[in-house]
Amino acid sequence: MALCLKQVFNKDKTFRPRKKFEPGTQRFELYKKAQASLKSGLDLRAVVQLPPGESINDWIAVHVVDFFNRINLIYGTMSEYCTERSCPIMSGGLKYEYRWQDDSKYKKPTKLSAPQYMCMLMDWIEMLINNEDIFPTRIGVPFPKQFQQVCTKILTRLFRVFVHVYIHHFDSIINMGAEAHVNTCYKHFYYFIREFSLIDHRELEPLKEMTERICH
């Protein structure tokens, strides 16, 4: 029997503190608008479209933060099944292996276990979305020129979480009764990145068959 989502995605299990939008800001109003559209039952393809008169960078920023929160929560819920022993390599089946690289500790692509990769990834994203120079929250402060490029890198790496979860841990998601929720989150993510061409199509290959089944 499927559990209530509040039981499945218990906030105590969140992998990392969630980033919130400050009430009264334009970003918060955009976030509320996006959430209202989601709850209205509208087609997800329509939900992701840029509202008339809104800034595309604000719209992308809101969704990047929201997807970070949602995917972070999904992984945090089933992270007890993703261990150094069960997942010694961050992969998506036998064909795809993801190595970690950043500008500090790992300057070259480095093989990590899935739990290590996820931890590095969530730390890295949290650092970026809390950086006012990249995700400005003050009125009148412009986004940097490389903003969408940074978001592409964030979303590409978040997609790899879906790849790992679907290929290696989907039985756990089913057992928790969360399949429909995870599928909806994935579809929302997929339609968004396709709407704004934010991820190279080659990165989407590992889930191509599943995507064709549930997103078309």
Percent of the chain with pLDDT over 90: 67
Yes or no: say if 77 and 8 are a contact pair by the CB < 8 Å rule: yes
Yes or no: say if 59 and 51 are a contact pair by the CB < 8 Å rule: yes
- Enter the tokens of residue 27: 């970003």
Yes or no: say if 89 and 100 are a contact pair by the CB < 8 Å rule: no
What confidence category does residue 36 fall into, taking pLDDT thresholds of 50, 70 and 90?
A: low
Q: Which residues are annotated as a binding site?
A: 82, 87, 164, 169
pLDDT of residue 140: 84
> Tens of pLDDT along 7-20?
334 444 444 545 66
Q: Which residues are annotated as a binding site for Zn(2+)?
A: 82, 87, 164, 169
Burial 8-21 (b: 16+ CB within 10 A, else e): bbeeeeebbeebeb
Q: Greater confidence, 23 or 145?
A: 145
pLDDT of residue 129: 94
* Beta-bridge partners for 110: 100
pLDDT of residue 148: 97
The model's pTM is 0.85
* Beta-bridge partners for 23: none
Q: Greater confidence, 182 or 216?
A: 182
In angstroms, the CA 96 to CA 100 distance is 13
Mean pLDDT of the chain: 86
Q: Is residue 34 pLDDT above 90, yes or no?
A: no
Least confident span in 14-18, 51-55, 157-161, 195-199: 14-18
Q: Is residue 84 pLDDT above 90, yes or no?
A: yes
Class of domain 1-7+25-34+67-215: mainly alpha
Least confident span in 26-30, 74-78, 172-176, 202-206: 26-30
> Tens of pLDDT along 146-191?
999 999 999 999 999 999 999 999 999 888 888 888 999 999 999 9
Q: What is the mean pLDDT of residues 111-126?
A: 96
> What residues does each domain of the chain span?
1-7+25-34+67-215
Q: Is residue 133 pLDDT above 80, yes or no?
A: yes
Three-state DSSP at 36 gives helix
pLDDT of residue 81: 93
pLDDT of residue 158: 98
- Angle, CA of 159, 163 and 167, to the nearest 5°: 165
Yes or no: say if 53 and 7 are a contact pair by the CB < 8 Å rule: no
> Tens of pLDDT along 180-194?
889 999 999 999 999
